[in-house]
Amino acid sequence: MSYNESETLVHVGEAQAAAASTQTMHWHAPAKGSAVPEQQRWPVEAVQQLLDMPFMDLMHQAQSVHRENWPAGEIELATLLSVKTGGCPENCGYCPQSAEFDTGVKAEKLMSVEEVTRAAKAAQDAGATRFCMGAAWRAPKDRDIEKMNELIGAVKGLGMQTCATLGMLQPHQAESLRDAGLDYYNHNLDTAPEYYKDVVSTRQYQDRLDTLAAVRGAGISVCCGGIIGMGETEVHRAGLIAQLANMEPYPESVPINSLVPVPGTPLADSDPVDPLDFVRVIAVARITMPKARVRLSAGRQQLGEAVQTLCFMAGANSIFYGDKLLVTGNPDVEADTSLMRKLGLKGLKTAQAQA
């Protein structure tokens, strides 16, 4: 039995003996797909116990799990491009692309194949091996999927891995994206099921799970994570991680975002998350999902070099690379290159190395 498997069983056993919180949290199963065997499931209480560990002990365990499953000092560089910006009918409280909020973001048409290809080539030349394309749709129409398939084919033609985040999908749409060569589909859970209604009311949590089931059913790898700092409690953070870790299988990529408050959104005045609490979430994601790429995503600008370094020590082995994430800021390439040099981190050389 490997280190991480034995740790899993130990913490599950402890959690079954004593609850870590008086708030009841539950794992929500997808509408389709097999559930994780009960003895392997991460109860929310077990995740809570990990979050509550002494910081140094938690970091040691996370780094041990990381080194058992991944090469030390290796980091994936992914670039995210908004290929269709603004005008989204959803009311996600964190998102400046919602048509309901006055954030200064204007609705734009889908970018052309030529524009996207140029952006992808520039990202590749800067060292990125994965190219992610985001479109501000609630749910794409079939004609939108056809256009996205052209973009996917163009990026694949450069030898890069492809990822898309387009909103809710039907099974036949996921299959079409797969046939076009899409490697990953991003669809974040955002937060725990119990807190979701406080963040967005235009869709249900089950809608997220159903789209993820369609993606998994089509054979596309899953990119799924959440956002920290939206006013959630620690037990909600535990609930989010449990929801992710209990997927069968858990996501291949797990982006953990620190909220970037944007003026005009309902969450613009949210209190900043404690930096060490954010590091704890990264560490627990690594422990509970040992073979996932844990991506340090939005919010890196406000974290600074020292906290980012702790996140890498806690098991983060992927970053979004480039000066913008959709419509919010991100450290520029020079800053990331400098930090990686200081820490002795090396980016993957080819997309094939990620397989």
User: Of residues 130, 132, 216, 224, which has the active-site annotation?
Assistant: 132
Please confirm, yes or no, whether 95 is among the known catalytic residues. yes
- The predicted structure's pLDDT at residue 37: 54
User: Of residues 216, 286, 295, 300, which has the active-site annotation?
Assistant: 295
* CA dist., res. 82 & res. 110, Å (int): 9
User: Of residues 216, 223, 293, 300, which has the active-site annotation?
Assistant: 223
Please confirm, yes or no, whether 224 is among the known catalytic residues. no
Please confirm, yes or no, whether 223 is among the known catalytic residues. yes
Residue 263 Ramachandran class (φ > 0 left, ψ -120 to 50 alpha, else beta)? beta
User: Of residues 163, 208, 293, 300, which has the active-site annotation?
Assistant: 163
- The predicted structure's pLDDT at residue 13: 43
Name all domains of the chain by residue range, CATH numbers in brackets.
65-344 (3.20.20.70)
User: Of residues 92, 130, 286, 311, which has the active-site annotation?
Assistant: 92
- The predicted structure's pLDDT at residue 23: 47
pLDDT(157) > 90: yes
Please confirm, yes or no, whether 88 is among the known catalytic residues. yes
Please write the tens of the pLDDT for every residue from 256-312.
999 988 888 988 888 999 999 999 999 999 999 999 999 998 888 788 899 999 999
DSSP symbols for 105-165: PPP-PPPPHHHHHHHHHHHHHTT--EEEEEE--SS--HHHHHHHHHHHHHHHTTT-EEEEE
Please write the tens of the pLDDT for every residue from 40-96.
589 999 999 999 999 999 999 999 999 999 998 999 988 999 999 877 878 887 888
Please confirm, yes or no, whether 311 is among the known catalytic residues. no
Tokens of residue 290, six digits: 């040992």
Angle between helices 44-51 and 275-288 in degrees, nearest 10: 130
